[in-house]
Amino acid sequence: MKDISILAIESSCDETAAAVVKGGREVLSSVIHSQIDIHKKFGGVVPEVASRNHTLFINDIAAEALCRAGKTFEQIDAVAVTYGAGLLGALLVGVSYAKAISYALNIPLIAVDHTKGHIAANYITHKELQPPFICLVVSGGHTALFEIKSFAEHKVLGMSADDAVGEAFDKVARVLGLGYPGGPAVEEYAKRGSASIKLPVSRIGGYDFSYSGLKTSVLNYINSLKQKNQEINVGDVCASFQKAAIDVLVEKSIKACKQYNYKTLCLAGGVSANGYLRQAAEKKCQKYGIKLYYPLKEYCTDNAAMIGAEAYYSYINGDGVANLSLNAQAHISR
Protein backbone atom coordinates (compact mmCIF):
# COMPACT_ATOMS: atom_id res chain seq x y z
CA MET A 1 0.00 0.00 0.00
CA LYS A 2 2.80 2.43 0.92
CA ASP A 3 4.08 2.34 -2.64
CA ILE A 4 0.87 2.97 -4.52
CA SER A 5 1.10 5.73 -7.12
CA ILE A 6 -2.00 7.81 -7.75
CA LEU A 7 -2.63 10.02 -10.77
CA ALA A 8 -4.62 12.97 -9.39
CA ILE A 9 -6.73 15.45 -11.34
CA GLU A 10 -7.96 18.87 -10.15
CA SER A 11 -10.24 21.14 -12.21
CA SER A 12 -12.60 22.73 -9.66
CA CYS A 13 -11.92 26.36 -10.59
CA ASP A 14 -9.46 27.99 -12.98
CA GLU A 15 -6.45 25.68 -12.64
CA THR A 16 -6.16 22.54 -14.76
CA ALA A 17 -3.85 20.38 -12.68
CA ALA A 18 -2.52 16.83 -12.62
CA ALA A 19 -0.01 15.14 -10.34
CA VAL A 20 1.44 11.76 -9.51
CA VAL A 21 1.74 11.12 -5.76
CA LYS A 22 3.29 8.04 -4.16
CA GLY A 23 2.15 6.75 -0.78
CA GLY A 24 0.28 9.95 0.03
CA ARG A 25 3.48 11.86 0.82
CA GLU A 26 5.89 11.83 -2.11
CA VAL A 27 5.08 14.13 -5.03
CA LEU A 28 6.57 12.52 -8.15
CA SER A 29 5.20 15.33 -10.33
CA SER A 30 2.82 18.27 -10.08
CA VAL A 31 1.73 20.17 -13.17
CA ILE A 32 -0.55 23.21 -13.04
CA HIS A 33 -1.95 25.11 -15.99
CA SER A 34 -3.34 28.37 -14.60
CA GLN A 35 -6.02 30.24 -16.51
CA ILE A 36 -5.37 33.50 -14.63
CA ASP A 37 -4.30 35.32 -17.80
CA ILE A 38 -7.51 34.28 -19.52
CA HIS A 39 -9.83 35.37 -16.67
CA LYS A 40 -8.08 38.48 -15.39
CA LYS A 41 -9.49 40.68 -18.15
CA PHE A 42 -12.97 39.86 -16.74
CA GLY A 43 -11.89 40.65 -13.15
CA GLY A 44 -12.70 37.12 -11.97
CA VAL A 45 -13.32 33.55 -13.12
CA VAL A 46 -15.94 33.08 -15.87
CA PRO A 47 -17.25 29.54 -15.25
CA GLU A 48 -18.08 28.58 -18.85
CA VAL A 49 -14.71 29.85 -20.08
CA ALA A 50 -12.99 27.84 -17.33
CA SER A 51 -14.78 24.61 -18.35
CA ARG A 52 -13.91 25.05 -22.02
CA ASN A 53 -10.26 25.62 -21.21
CA HIS A 54 -10.13 22.57 -18.95
CA THR A 55 -11.30 20.42 -21.87
CA LEU A 56 -8.57 21.92 -24.05
CA PHE A 57 -5.74 21.29 -21.61
CA ILE A 58 -6.57 18.32 -19.38
CA ASN A 59 -5.19 15.65 -21.68
CA ASP A 60 -1.81 17.33 -22.13
CA ILE A 61 -1.50 18.26 -18.44
CA ALA A 62 -2.15 14.65 -17.33
CA ALA A 63 0.31 13.34 -19.93
CA GLU A 64 2.90 15.85 -18.73
CA ALA A 65 2.39 14.80 -15.09
CA LEU A 66 2.96 11.15 -16.01
CA CYS A 67 6.00 12.00 -18.12
CA ARG A 68 7.63 14.09 -15.35
CA ALA A 69 6.96 11.27 -12.86
CA GLY A 70 8.64 8.79 -15.22
CA LYS A 71 5.45 6.72 -15.36
CA THR A 72 3.18 5.36 -18.05
CA PHE A 73 -0.60 5.03 -17.65
CA GLU A 74 -0.10 1.29 -17.04
CA GLN A 75 2.15 2.01 -14.03
CA ILE A 76 -0.53 3.99 -12.17
CA ASP A 77 -2.37 2.15 -9.38
CA ALA A 78 -5.39 4.45 -9.06
CA VAL A 79 -6.82 7.69 -10.41
CA ALA A 80 -8.16 10.43 -8.12
CA VAL A 81 -10.25 13.47 -8.89
CA THR A 82 -11.79 16.46 -7.14
CA TYR A 83 -15.57 15.91 -7.37
CA GLY A 84 -16.55 19.01 -5.34
CA ALA A 85 -16.89 21.67 -4.16
CA GLY A 86 -16.34 24.05 -7.05
CA LEU A 87 -17.72 25.21 -10.38
CA LEU A 88 -19.95 22.44 -11.68
CA GLY A 89 -18.95 22.63 -15.33
CA ALA A 90 -15.27 22.84 -14.44
CA LEU A 91 -15.49 19.87 -12.03
CA LEU A 92 -17.30 17.77 -14.64
CA VAL A 93 -14.32 17.95 -16.99
CA GLY A 94 -11.99 16.40 -14.40
CA VAL A 95 -14.57 13.88 -13.21
CA SER A 96 -15.30 12.68 -16.76
CA TYR A 97 -11.61 12.46 -17.56
CA ALA A 98 -10.81 10.45 -14.41
CA LYS A 99 -13.74 8.10 -15.02
CA ALA A 100 -12.46 7.41 -18.54
CA ILE A 101 -8.96 6.62 -17.18
CA SER A 102 -10.39 4.38 -14.46
CA TYR A 103 -12.55 2.49 -16.96
CA ALA A 104 -9.88 2.15 -19.65
CA LEU A 105 -7.15 0.98 -17.27
CA ASN A 106 -9.46 -0.89 -14.90
CA ILE A 107 -8.02 0.88 -11.85
CA PRO A 108 -9.83 2.33 -8.79
CA LEU A 109 -11.44 5.78 -9.05
CA ILE A 110 -11.06 7.90 -5.91
CA ALA A 111 -13.38 10.86 -5.32
CA VAL A 112 -11.76 13.69 -3.37
CA ASP A 113 -13.36 16.60 -1.49
CA HIS A 114 -11.41 19.73 -2.52
CA THR A 115 -11.30 21.13 1.03
CA LYS A 116 -9.84 17.90 2.42
CA GLY A 117 -7.30 18.14 -0.40
CA HIS A 118 -6.21 21.56 0.86
CA ILE A 119 -5.71 20.10 4.34
CA ALA A 120 -3.64 17.24 2.87
CA ALA A 121 -1.28 19.77 1.24
CA ASN A 122 0.34 19.77 4.68
CA TYR A 123 1.09 16.02 4.44
CA ILE A 124 3.21 16.44 1.32
CA THR A 125 5.04 19.43 2.78
CA HIS A 126 5.65 17.94 6.25
CA LYS A 127 6.34 14.23 5.99
CA GLU A 128 6.23 13.77 9.78
CA LEU A 129 2.84 15.43 10.29
CA GLN A 130 0.14 13.14 11.70
CA PRO A 131 -3.35 13.90 13.03
CA PRO A 132 -4.75 14.91 15.46
CA PHE A 133 -4.61 18.66 14.81
CA ILE A 134 -6.72 21.75 14.25
CA CYS A 135 -6.74 23.04 10.66
CA LEU A 136 -7.75 26.47 9.42
CA VAL A 137 -8.77 26.27 5.74
CA VAL A 138 -8.76 29.69 4.07
CA SER A 139 -9.25 30.03 0.33
CA GLY A 140 -11.32 31.81 -2.32
CA GLY A 141 -14.21 29.46 -1.67
CA HIS A 142 -13.82 28.38 1.96
CA THR A 143 -13.16 29.73 5.42
CA ALA A 144 -13.50 26.95 7.95
CA LEU A 145 -11.96 25.60 11.11
CA PHE A 146 -11.63 21.81 11.32
CA GLU A 147 -10.78 19.37 14.05
CA ILE A 148 -8.80 16.60 12.30
CA LYS A 149 -9.07 13.68 14.69
CA SER A 150 -7.56 11.11 12.32
CA PHE A 151 -6.88 10.82 8.57
CA ALA A 152 -10.53 9.86 8.15
CA GLU A 153 -12.29 12.10 10.69
CA HIS A 154 -12.74 15.77 9.78
CA LYS A 155 -15.08 17.65 12.08
CA VAL A 156 -16.15 21.22 11.24
CA LEU A 157 -15.94 23.56 14.23
CA GLY A 158 -17.03 26.65 12.33
CA MET A 159 -17.19 28.29 8.93
CA SER A 160 -17.99 31.56 7.21
CA ALA A 161 -21.63 32.56 7.32
CA ASP A 162 -21.22 34.51 4.09
CA ASP A 163 -18.13 35.38 1.98
CA ALA A 164 -14.89 33.40 2.12
CA VAL A 165 -11.83 35.36 3.28
CA GLY A 166 -10.05 34.94 -0.10
CA GLU A 167 -13.14 36.23 -1.84
CA ALA A 168 -13.01 39.35 0.36
CA PHE A 169 -9.32 39.87 -0.57
CA ASP A 170 -10.28 39.54 -4.26
CA LYS A 171 -13.17 42.02 -3.99
CA VAL A 172 -11.12 44.65 -2.14
CA ALA A 173 -8.34 44.28 -4.72
CA ARG A 174 -10.84 44.64 -7.54
CA VAL A 175 -12.26 47.94 -6.21
CA LEU A 176 -8.71 49.25 -5.71
CA GLY A 177 -7.87 48.26 -9.29
CA LEU A 178 -5.16 45.80 -8.21
CA GLY A 179 -6.24 43.02 -10.59
CA TYR A 180 -7.12 39.33 -10.15
CA PRO A 181 -6.40 37.30 -8.06
CA GLY A 182 -6.34 39.97 -5.39
CA GLY A 183 -4.75 38.25 -2.38
CA PRO A 184 -1.08 38.51 -3.36
CA ALA A 185 -1.52 42.14 -4.54
CA VAL A 186 -3.25 43.19 -1.30
CA GLU A 187 -0.44 41.54 0.69
CA GLU A 188 2.20 43.44 -1.31
CA TYR A 189 0.49 46.83 -0.93
CA ALA A 190 -0.14 46.19 2.77
CA LYS A 191 3.64 46.10 3.30
CA ARG A 192 3.79 49.77 2.18
CA GLY A 193 1.03 51.00 4.48
CA SER A 194 -0.11 50.95 8.07
CA ALA A 195 -3.26 49.47 9.57
CA SER A 196 -4.52 52.91 10.58
CA ILE A 197 -8.09 52.79 9.24
CA LYS A 198 -10.70 51.70 11.74
CA LEU A 199 -12.73 48.81 10.35
CA PRO A 200 -15.48 46.76 12.00
CA VAL A 201 -14.54 43.53 13.73
CA SER A 202 -16.96 40.66 13.08
CA ARG A 203 -19.03 39.87 16.17
CA ILE A 204 -20.20 36.46 14.98
CA GLY A 205 -19.92 33.95 17.81
CA GLY A 206 -18.31 30.55 18.34
CA TYR A 207 -15.95 29.38 15.62
CA ASP A 208 -17.91 30.89 12.73
CA PHE A 209 -16.67 33.77 10.60
CA SER A 210 -18.25 36.58 8.60
CA TYR A 211 -16.65 38.71 5.89
CA SER A 212 -19.49 40.57 4.20
CA GLY A 213 -19.58 43.38 6.81
CA LEU A 214 -15.84 43.97 6.61
CA LYS A 215 -15.87 43.86 2.81
CA THR A 216 -18.77 46.36 2.60
CA SER A 217 -17.05 48.75 5.05
CA VAL A 218 -13.87 48.76 2.99
CA LEU A 219 -15.82 49.32 -0.23
CA ASN A 220 -17.85 52.14 1.41
CA TYR A 221 -14.66 53.75 2.70
CA ILE A 222 -13.09 53.69 -0.79
CA ASN A 223 -16.25 54.95 -2.50
CA SER A 224 -16.75 57.81 -0.06
CA LEU A 225 -13.18 59.05 -0.66
CA LYS A 226 -13.68 58.73 -4.42
CA GLN A 227 -16.90 60.79 -4.22
CA LYS A 228 -15.07 63.53 -2.32
CA ASN A 229 -12.23 63.36 -4.84
CA GLN A 230 -9.80 62.57 -2.02
CA GLU A 231 -6.69 60.51 -2.54
CA ILE A 232 -6.85 56.86 -1.42
CA ASN A 233 -3.83 55.52 0.44
CA VAL A 234 -3.88 52.02 -1.09
CA GLY A 235 -1.20 50.73 1.29
CA ASP A 236 -3.18 51.81 4.38
CA VAL A 237 -6.43 50.35 3.02
CA CYS A 238 -4.71 47.02 2.28
CA ALA A 239 -2.90 46.86 5.62
CA SER A 240 -6.05 47.74 7.58
CA PHE A 241 -8.21 45.25 5.68
CA GLN A 242 -5.60 42.49 5.92
CA LYS A 243 -5.25 42.93 9.68
CA ALA A 244 -9.03 42.97 10.24
CA ALA A 245 -9.53 39.92 7.98
CA ILE A 246 -6.73 37.82 9.46
CA ASP A 247 -6.47 38.62 13.18
CA VAL A 248 -9.86 36.99 13.81
CA LEU A 249 -8.75 33.82 11.98
CA VAL A 250 -5.69 33.49 14.18
CA GLU A 251 -7.60 34.30 17.34
CA LYS A 252 -10.27 31.62 16.73
CA SER A 253 -7.72 29.01 15.60
CA ILE A 254 -5.74 29.43 18.82
CA LYS A 255 -8.95 29.43 20.88
CA ALA A 256 -9.91 26.08 19.30
CA CYS A 257 -6.47 24.58 20.05
CA LYS A 258 -6.75 25.68 23.67
CA GLN A 259 -10.38 24.66 24.19
CA TYR A 260 -9.96 21.18 22.63
CA ASN A 261 -6.41 20.70 23.89
CA TYR A 262 -4.55 20.42 20.57
CA LYS A 263 -0.83 21.09 20.37
CA THR A 264 -0.72 21.29 16.55
CA LEU A 265 -2.29 23.89 14.23
CA CYS A 266 -2.21 23.64 10.43
CA LEU A 267 -3.08 26.32 7.89
CA ALA A 268 -4.30 25.43 4.40
CA GLY A 269 -5.75 26.98 1.22
CA GLY A 270 -4.75 29.91 -1.00
CA VAL A 271 -4.82 32.50 1.80
CA SER A 272 -2.36 30.38 3.85
CA ALA A 273 0.30 31.72 1.44
CA ASN A 274 -0.20 35.11 3.14
CA GLY A 275 2.88 36.24 5.08
CA TYR A 276 0.94 38.31 7.60
CA LEU A 277 -1.23 35.28 8.47
CA ARG A 278 1.80 32.98 8.78
CA GLN A 279 3.64 35.44 11.04
CA ALA A 280 0.64 36.28 13.20
CA ALA A 281 -0.15 32.58 13.67
CA GLU A 282 3.53 31.77 14.41
CA LYS A 283 3.68 34.46 17.09
CA LYS A 284 0.55 33.23 18.87
CA CYS A 285 1.54 29.56 18.51
CA GLN A 286 4.91 30.23 20.11
CA LYS A 287 3.20 32.00 22.99
CA TYR A 288 0.94 29.02 23.71
CA GLY A 289 3.37 26.17 22.91
CA ILE A 290 1.52 25.10 19.75
CA LYS A 291 3.39 23.72 16.72
CA LEU A 292 2.40 25.48 13.49
CA TYR A 293 2.44 23.92 10.01
CA TYR A 294 1.54 25.39 6.63
CA PRO A 295 2.08 24.06 3.09
CA LEU A 296 4.79 25.11 0.67
CA LYS A 297 3.45 28.10 -1.31
CA GLU A 298 2.99 26.02 -4.45
CA TYR A 299 0.66 23.69 -2.51
CA CYS A 300 -1.37 26.47 -0.83
CA THR A 301 -3.28 27.47 -3.98
CA ASP A 302 -5.09 24.90 -6.11
CA ASN A 303 -2.99 21.96 -7.29
CA ALA A 304 -3.45 18.24 -7.90
CA ALA A 305 -0.65 16.98 -5.61
CA MET A 306 -2.79 17.76 -2.55
CA ILE A 307 -5.64 15.79 -4.17
CA GLY A 308 -3.31 12.81 -4.65
CA ALA A 309 -2.25 13.00 -0.98
CA GLU A 310 -5.82 13.07 0.36
CA ALA A 311 -6.82 10.34 -2.14
CA TYR A 312 -4.21 7.99 -0.68
CA TYR A 313 -5.63 8.28 2.84
CA SER A 314 -9.26 7.98 1.77
CA TYR A 315 -8.31 4.99 -0.40
CA ILE A 316 -6.57 3.10 2.40
CA ASN A 317 -9.45 3.97 4.75
CA GLY A 318 -11.80 2.56 2.14
CA ASP A 319 -14.14 5.55 2.10
CA GLY A 320 -13.08 7.37 -1.05
CA VAL A 321 -13.52 4.70 -3.71
CA ALA A 322 -16.15 5.71 -6.26
CA ASN A 323 -17.66 4.08 -9.31
CA LEU A 324 -18.60 5.32 -12.77
CA SER A 325 -21.81 6.90 -11.46
CA LEU A 326 -19.70 9.55 -9.66
CA ASN A 327 -21.07 13.03 -10.27
CA ALA A 328 -19.62 16.50 -9.69
CA GLN A 329 -21.00 18.51 -6.76
CA ALA A 330 -20.94 22.31 -6.61
CA HIS A 331 -21.39 22.17 -2.82
CA ILE A 332 -20.54 19.52 -0.25
CA SER A 333 -22.65 19.82 2.88
CA ARG A 334 -20.99 19.15 6.23
- Shortest Cβ 118–Zn ion spacing (Å): 6
> Rounded CA gap, 47 and 35, in Å?
11
- Shortest Cβ 186–ligand KG4 spacing (Å): 6
Binding site for Zn ion (CB under 5 A): 139, 302
- Shortest Cβ 139–Zn ion spacing (Å): 4
> Rounded CA gap, 13 and 46, in Å?
9
- Shortest Cβ 114–Zn ion spacing (Å): 6
β-bridge pairing 133-138 and 143-148? antiparallel
Q: Which does 273 bind (CB under 5 to 8 A by kind): Zn ion, ligand KG4, none?
A: ligand KG4
- Shortest Cβ 295–ligand KG4 spacing (Å): 10
For residue 318, give the amino acid letter: G
Of 76 and 81, nearer to ligand KG4 (C-beta) is 81
Of 11 and 29, nearer to Zn ion (C-beta) is 11
Of 108 and 182, nearer to ligand KG4 (C-beta) is 182
Q: Which does 166 bind (CB under 5 to 8 A by kind): Zn ion, ligand KG4, none?
A: ligand KG4
Peptide bond into 85 cis (omega under 30): yes
- Shortest Cβ 319–ligand KG4 spacing (Å): 22
Q: Which does 207 bind (CB under 5 to 8 A by kind): ligand KG4, Zn ion, none?
A: none
Residues 6+ apart with CB under 8 A from 333: none
Sequence-distant contacts of 52-58: CB under 8 A, at least 24 apart: 53/14, 53/16, 54/11, 54/16, 54/90, 54/93, 54/94, 55/93, 57/16, 57/33, 58/9, 58/11, 58/16, 58/18, 58/93, 58/94, 58/97
Of 87 and 256, nearer to ligand KG4 (C-beta) is 87
| Contact predicate 184/169, CB 8 Å | no
Of 5 and 240, nearer to ligand KG4 (C-beta) is 240
Residues 6+ apart with CB under 8 A from 90: 11, 12, 13, 14, 47, 50, 51, 54
> Rounded CA gap, 133 and 154, in Å?
10
- For the chain, give percent helix, strand, coil, nearest 5: 50, 20, 35
Binding site for ligand KG4 (CB under 6 A): 13, 139-141, 166-167, 169-170, 181-184, 187, 269-271, 273-274, 301-302
Q: Which does 187 bind (CB under 5 to 8 A by kind): Zn ion, ligand KG4, none?
A: ligand KG4
Of 66 and 121, nearer to Zn ion (C-beta) is 121
- Shortest Cβ 177–ligand KG4 spacing (Å): 15
Q: Which does 274 bind (CB under 5 to 8 A by kind): ligand KG4, Zn ion, none?
A: ligand KG4
- Shortest Cβ 49–Zn ion spacing (Å): 18
Of 113 and 147, nearer to ligand KG4 (C-beta) is 113
Of 22 and 171, nearer to ligand KG4 (C-beta) is 171
> Rounded CA gap, 169 and 174, in Å?
9
**Of the candidates 132, 5, 167, 2, which has an alpha carbon nearest to the alpha carbon of residue 73?**
5
